[in-house]
Every structure is written in structure tokens, then in C-alpha cells.
Amino acid sequence: MIRNATNTTRTLIASAAVALTLGGAPQLFAAQDSRAPQGQAPAQQPPQQQPPQQHEQQQFKTAQGQLTRVDTDARTIAITSQGAPMVFRYTAETKVVGGEKDVAGLATMTGTEVAIQYVQQEKDNVASQIEIRARK
């Protein structure tokens, strides 16, 4: 038993001497500190938290009403829905269903019934799809 302890001590001293010679003392001591005492499980590190997702799943809403204005310079479309005006920003990805190929083509369709699927992004309502319901 003493012989095993002596061999283990010599091995540790030799390992420490090599590590010091190679400049690895901090790694040697860090490795020794992270070992759990014999018979105990190593200490568990707390789980890493996932960073918040930037693009959390957005909830789509739908507004229906009469088209009142399309501003191609500001990239907005306005409707009157239940007597109240609503303004939506549109992007190159906004789809137009039921007639025109793009939002700019709606500029001559004032008074047409439309349904706009949109998401709220900060203070803006951003249209993802504009459906032409009934032409006027």
C-alpha cells in the first residue's frame, strides 16, 4: 500500500515538473481542482441558457375593409375597417392575392374590399398578404 502511494506521489511530482517546464501549471492545477473526491460524482455545471430568439414566432392578424390609399413612395397602404382608418407598411415580400401582381397595382382600386394579413412590429403594422375580396 505504501509502495502504491509512493509511486502515485512520484508520478504526480514528475507530471508537475513537466507541466511547469512546459508552462502548463495553471492547466495542471485546474484539472486537479475539477476532479471530484473519490466516490462522489463530479460537480455539475448549471445548464447554459439559450439566448433569446430574435425572431420569435409572430402572431398574424387580419383586418378587412375598403382600400382608401396606396402610397408607393412611403410603401404604405390604408384601409377603412369598421369605420376606423388603418395603415399598413408593405415590403417586397408582401403578397397580393386575387387580382393584381403587386401592391403598386392596387393604387387604382380605391374603394375595393380587401383583407390584409399582418403582424405588428414595434409601432408598425406590416402586411404579409393583401387579398382582394370584391372589386368596386
Assess contact for 75 and 90: CB atoms under 8 A: yes
The total number of structural domains that make up the chain: 2
pLDDT in tens, 62-80: 999 999 999 999 999 999 9
Taking alpha carbons only, the member of 24, 107, 20, 34 closest to residue 70 is: 107
Residue 13 predicted with pLDDT over 50: yes
28 shares its domain with 72: no
71 shares its domain with 28: no
Question: Residue 121 sits in which domain range?
Answer: 61-134
Beta strand 84-97 pairing with 76-81: antiparallel
Distance (Å, whole) CA 9 – CA 132: 84
CATH number at residue 74: 2.40.50.320
69 shares its domain with 128: yes
Q: Is residue 22 part of a domain?
A: yes
65 shares its domain with 128: yes
| Confidence tier at 55 by pLDDT (50, 70, 90) | very low
